[in-house]
Chains A and B, each alone.
With several copies, the nearest count.
Chain A
Amino acid sequence: MKKLINAPADVVQEALLGFEAAHSDRVRIDHDNKVIYRKDAPKQGKVGLISGGGSGHEPMHGGFVGMGMLDAACAGEVFTSPVPDQMMAATKEVDGGAGVLHIVKNYTGDVMNFEMAAEMAAADSGIEVLSVVTDDDVAVQDSLYTAGRRGVGVTVLLEKIVGAAAEQGRSLNDVADLAKRVNDLGRSMGMALTSCTVPAAGKPTFELGENEMELGIGIHGEPGRKRLPLASAKEIASMLVDPIVGDLPYGQGDSVIAFVNGMGGTPLLELYVMYNEVAQLLEKAGITVARSLVGSYITSLEMAGCSVTLLKADDELVSLWDAPVNTPGLRWGA
């Protein structure tokens, strides 16, 4: 295992120390609970936004704490959802009297831990908590009888957009409705060129031949829906964009926020090659790109690969996207 770490068991704790040292102008950290807070939380009268999940997806979620985005992020162990105590602590800490929204990616572990936290918070403190669960991954078939779709790239866009709405002082119900709307308008799909290595496991989660790739992966180093021969950027772009566009569906005349995301080990040079292909496909389909985001924002440790997310965006969503944000991971207008 080749990683810039000390003991595998200490990775999350030490990364949080480094994160705090680097960004103490904007965040503070409760190291016992492994919660990253916006420095000036709680903001009186503002809906508190909390997210969290396993570590290994950086900059998500900790890198999205700050003005115009999250009030707190709970960091779990690598690829392991955080525990209810963390969300409980965060909920109490960020409540500014306007209630708290939990932003949860749809994984059994995340959903159950956030559920327990919401139950405990309700019983314990009376803070009003609503939850939104993101489930945008078209690689997974949605069904009542399964765990449903995974929450992936839309989560990043949602945290930005909903963060801007909360910053404007909208009510908890408004913010939660907006969050659901964003989730409903977004779809994603990802692929991997390589596996990744969970530090505690010490070896790659799966083996992939020199001429193979995985299509339909999530963000936990898990294998995808299909193993395929290595393909060109152009072919891969189609494999990702076509199922997304067909699913919602998106069509002629639609306007989107287009997001090409790196999985952690893929350099920016390649992401721009991919974005070039994605932009061409969208143009051919008559879909306008209102805004774009290219970079590694929701990652799977050092996995090489990428994902594409499209979010159908009306004027309201675009203007919330454009609103100022000041976090370690996303920053503009501030």
Chain B
Amino acid sequence: MGDVVTVVTVDAFGAWLRQFAATIHDNAAMLTDLDSAIGDADHGSNMDRGMKAVVAALDATEFETADALFKKVGMTLVSTVGGASGPLYGTFFLRLGSSLQGADEISAPELGAALRAGVQGIVARGKAEVGDKTMVDALMPALDAYDAAVGEGVATALGAAAKAAAEGRDSTTPLVARKGRASYLGERSAGHQDPGATSTTMLLESAAAALS
């Protein structure tokens, strides 16, 4: 058994983002396929373009604080992704950064609070509720699962969050979309997994893998 990880460093966050970027790149075609069915066939290329820019930013700068790191990530995504996912992912990271302001080693509860702030940013921007068939369907349950396991350390809490996100992602399949582009399909949106919920699940899975 590994150690219980209790604090996360800026470097570890960098590793998380690189891992997420790699996962997105490997799954870009799959994400775009999901978006073809109920959207406009660009979610994979949008996220891939954005995360490539994030990796370039990581390569170019040494970040001293989590705050500075996540603000840069958020701004980079806002500036390069576009579409719905650009402002949503961008806001998530900007809020994550604000929430971690000042801290350099982040505890499990601090990380939990930061993730919640990030997701609240997404909700404030996109006004989606659980059940609307969006990334919020993966993110909300993930927050709750994280909080329930927060006492067991970052690794366990993120593992629980990733598992809950995956379940939330799967739960989008039967839903009729009420937000985003899929809502234009009405009843025809049912039976397809939401691309944004799929990529946010990867975000949490990358975190669980990189921050343990």
Contact = CB atoms under 8 A, between A and B. Distances in A.
Given A77-B45, A200-B32, A201-B32, A139 B79 contact: no
Interface residues of A, number: 38
B118 to A, nearest CB: 16
B78 A77 contact: no
A19 interface: no
Contact of B184 (A83, A201, A218): A218
B24 to A, nearest CB: 14
A109 B180 CA distance: 8
Nearest to B81: A83
A146 B39 contact: no
A145 B40 CA distance: 21
A73 to B, nearest CB: 14
Contacts of A109: 82-87, 181
A222 B181 contact: yes
* Most chain B beta carbons < 10 A, residue from A109, A146, A226: A109
A80 B43 CA distance: 9
B87 A198 contact: no
Contacts of A147: 178-181, 183-184
Nearest to A197: B41
A83 B53 CA distance: 14
A220 B43 CA distance: 13
Interface string B76-100: 0011111111111000000000000
A76 B179 CA distance: 21
A198 B35 CA distance: 11
How many B residues are at the interface, by size bracket? Answer: 35 or more
A191 to B, nearest CB: 14
A80 B83 contact: yes
A330 interface: no
Interface in B178-212: 178-181, 183-186, 188
Contacts of A194: none
Contacts of B181: 107-109, 147, 220, 222
Nearest to B49: A77
Given A83-B79, A140-B184, A113 B87 contact: yes
A79 B88 CA distance: 17
Interface in B60-85: 78-85
Interface in B134-173: none
A112 B183 contact: no
Contacts of A220: 39-40, 181
A20 to B, nearest CB: 21
Interface of A: 54, 76-85, 107-109, 112-113, 115-116, 139-141, 145-147, 150, 198, 200-201, 205-206, 218, 220-226
21 contacts: A76-B83, A79-B40, A79-B41, A80-B83, A83-B78, A107-B181, A108-B84, A108-B181, A109-B87, A113-B83, A115-B87, A146-B178, A147-B179, A198-B45, A201-B32, A206-B37, A220-B39, A220-B181, A221-B40, A224-B185, A225-B185
Given A54-B82, A115-B87, 8 more contacts: A79-B42, A83-B79, A107-B84, A107-B181, A109-B85, A112-B125, A147-B181, A205-B41
